């Protein structure tokens, strides 16, 4: 699952350190696609590196039981618009047979700057147990 997978890149202003965002997208797993939403935050360590937290929710995943994803990511910014990420976290499945599993995520995003905001189409692949989930969407960010 994504979030965040979301995507965040710093504004042209080198002083940007905090990049909060809201993610909206779709998670694809086992030939099913479910609406996914979440929040994300990245702290820029320097021009090329950042650390972040992501929380995503997919209410109808796992046959309506719902899934939430919480993860921490490290990000590499080869330029001001591209963000590549690797993360680790937890996937929690709700319902009568609720359980949690470790989740690993690879992500990429491209940030378009519109005034003080960013719009970042993003894609992520989550690895949980022996399954892969593809998360596609976009994040709206407000760097400061």
CATH T-level assignment (fold) for domain 18-141? Porin (2.40.160)
Do 94 and 67 touch, CB atoms closer than 8 A?
A: yes
Quote the pLDDT of residue 17. 96
Does the pLDDT of residue 40 top 80, yes or no? yes
Domain assignments of the chain as residue spans, ordered by start? 18-141
Does the pLDDT of residue 9 top 90, yes or no? no
Cβ neighbours, 10 Å, residue 66: 17
Quote the pLDDT of residue 6. 42
- CA–CA dist 135, 119 (Å, integer): 16
**Sign of the CA dihedral with 79 first, then 81, 85, and 90 last:** positive
Does the pLDDT of residue 1 top 90, yes or no? no
- CA–CA dist 84, 107 (Å, integer): 6
Q: What is the pLDDT of residues 117-131, one digit of tens each?
A: 999 999 999 999 999
- CA–CA dist 77, 86 (Å, integer): 12
β partners of residue 133:
126
- CA–CA dist 100, 125 (Å, integer): 18
Question: Does this model's pTM top 0.85?
Answer: yes
Cβ neighbours, 10 Å, residue 8: 30
């Amino acid at each position: 699952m994504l979030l965040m997978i979301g995507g965040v890149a710093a504004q042209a202003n080198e002083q940007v350190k905090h990049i909060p965002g809201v993610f909206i997208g779709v998670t694809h797993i086992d030939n099913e696609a479910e609406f996914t939403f979440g929040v994300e935050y990245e702290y820029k360590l320097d021009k090329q590196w950042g650390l972040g937290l992501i929380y995503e929710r997919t209410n109808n995943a796992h046959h309506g039981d719902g899934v939430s994803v919480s993860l921490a990511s490290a990000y590499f910014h080869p330029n001001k618009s591209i963000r590549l990420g690797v993360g680790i976290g937890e996937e929690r499945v709700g319902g009568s047979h609720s359980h949690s599993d470790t989740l690993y995520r690879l992500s990429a995003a491209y940030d378009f700057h519109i005034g003080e905001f960013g719009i970042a189409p993003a894609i992520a692949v989550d690895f949980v147990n022996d399954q892969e989930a593809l998360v596609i969407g976009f994040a709206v960010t407000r760097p400061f």
